[in-house]
């Protein structure tokens, strides 16, 4: 079995940035994307980290993503706005969306910003944590290509919209980040790449039959978490992600895996809430700290497994990987090197 190589985050960021710049992405935008992807790896979200770079590179090379696009504010009034991503790389458009939400929340206490004509934005919590770092509660989600069949249906219609929230505390923020399916499509893609089976209950094939074959699952659909309740949440998020930004919506959002060179037109939404609009900020911090303390002291079933807050496991992984490097499986490393060889030969020696 091939060994897993570990790389420093700085080295991976340098590689990602160089690879994107070789495809005419502006240096500042390449830095945004590289930081987002490596941040996902730091936190153990490897399905949304540098493993996504080859797809981004291919779509740039095929003209499906505009490397020079600048997102623009299209519409809005008061605490709400729409940003047109102009087919920029997803992290670039998404950052513009959250930055606008933060700005509006500072003025109005709360804000909603819909983004249209974007692309895959890596992992949702990244943007919410930017809000939390500035003392605001961040919330976001994203639409995407059809991957989930309607409850009782056979063919994909909705995406498995991620949902994330980050809230500041006196220490590290509380971070919630989840896909609305039993498993993300990215996890199934990674299982296929690594030639592994997926657990029963993750997905169904194109005929609507349960499957453990990742290839069959990718041709079929992933299953919503919590059955019909998860499906209902997906419908609610589609209203916020797809309907309100006035762009593409389910089931007409393009595939990141497509080779037709067409824009995917992915939509997102971002919200920010300023606790200081409701109470003195110190009082908010005291209240959320009290909630955490009470939760941590609640009785638990296993004395050796204390109650954890959402996001704590990620922080432990991040601490280890910043100290010891980010593990890159051989299959992912081979894809990164192949993409560099094909699209950005000048940066292939970085890895």
| 101-120 core/surface letters (b: 16 or more CB in 10 A; e: else) | bbebbbeebbbbbbbbbbbb
How far apart are alpha carbons 118 and 101 in whole angstroms?
16
How far apart are alpha carbons 244 and 81 in whole angstroms?
10
Cα distances (angstroms) measured from residue 246 to each of 64, 115, 151, 242: 20, 9, 25, 7
276 torsion bin: left (phi>0), alpha (psi -120 to 50), beta (else): alpha
Contact (Cβ atoms closer than 8 angstroms) between residue 23 and residue 343: yes
Assess whether 120 carries a catalytic annotation.
Answer: yes
How far apart are alpha carbons 319 and 240 in whole angstroms?
34
Phi, then psi, of 236 in degrees rounded to 5: -60, -45
**Active site residue: 5, 48, 108, 120, which one?**
120
Contact (Cβ atoms closer than 8 angstroms) between residue 51 and residue 122: no
How far apart are alpha carbons 263 and 334 in whole angstroms?
27
DSSP run (H or E) holding 141: strand 137-142
139 prior amide bond cis, ω within 30: no
User: Hey, which residues are catalytic here?
Assistant: 120
């Amino acid at each position: 079995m091939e060994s897993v190589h570990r790389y420093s985050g700085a080295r991976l960021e340098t590689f990602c940035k160089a690879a994107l710049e070789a495809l005419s992405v502006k240096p500042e935008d390449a830095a945004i994307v590289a930081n987002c992807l490596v941040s996902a790896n730091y936190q153990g979200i490897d399905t949304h980290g540098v493993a996504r770079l080859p797809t981004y590179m291919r779509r740039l090379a095929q003209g499906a993503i505009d490397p020079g696009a600048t997102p623009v504010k299209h519409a809005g009034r008061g605490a709400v706005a729409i940003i047109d991503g102009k087919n920029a790389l997803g992290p670039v458009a998404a950052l513009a969306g959250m930055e606008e939400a933060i700005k509006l929340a500072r003025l109005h206490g709360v804000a909603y910003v819909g983004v249209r004509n974007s692309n895959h934005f890596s992992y949702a919590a990244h943007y919410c944590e930017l809000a939390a770092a500035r003392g605001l509660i961040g919330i976001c989600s994203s639409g995407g290509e059809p991957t989930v069949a309607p409850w009782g249906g056979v063919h994909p219609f909705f995406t498995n919209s991620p949902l994330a929230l980050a809230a500041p505390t006196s220490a590290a923020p509380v971070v919630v980040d989840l896909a609305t399916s039993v498993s993300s499509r990215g996890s199934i893609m990674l299982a296929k790449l690594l030639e592994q089976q997926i657990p029963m209950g993750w997905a169904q094939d194109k005929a609507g039959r349960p499957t453990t074959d990742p290839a069959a699952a990718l041709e079929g659909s992933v299953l919503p978490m919590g059955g019909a309740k998860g499906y209902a949440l997906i419908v609610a998020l589609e209203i916020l992600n797809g309907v309100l930004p006035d762009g593409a919506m389910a089931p007409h959002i393009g595939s990141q895996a497509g080779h037709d060179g067409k824009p995917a037109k992915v939509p997102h939404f971002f919200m920010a809430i300023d606790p200081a609009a409701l109470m003195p900020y110190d009082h908010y911090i005291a209240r959320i700290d009290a909630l955490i303390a009470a939760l941590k002291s609640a009785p638990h079933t296993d004395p050796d497994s204390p109650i954890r807050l959402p996001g704590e496991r990620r922080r432990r992984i991040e601490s280890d990987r910043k100290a010891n490097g980010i593990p890159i499986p051989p299959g992912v490393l081979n894809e990164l090197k192949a993409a560099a060889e094909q699209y950005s030969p000048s940066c292939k020696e970085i890895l």
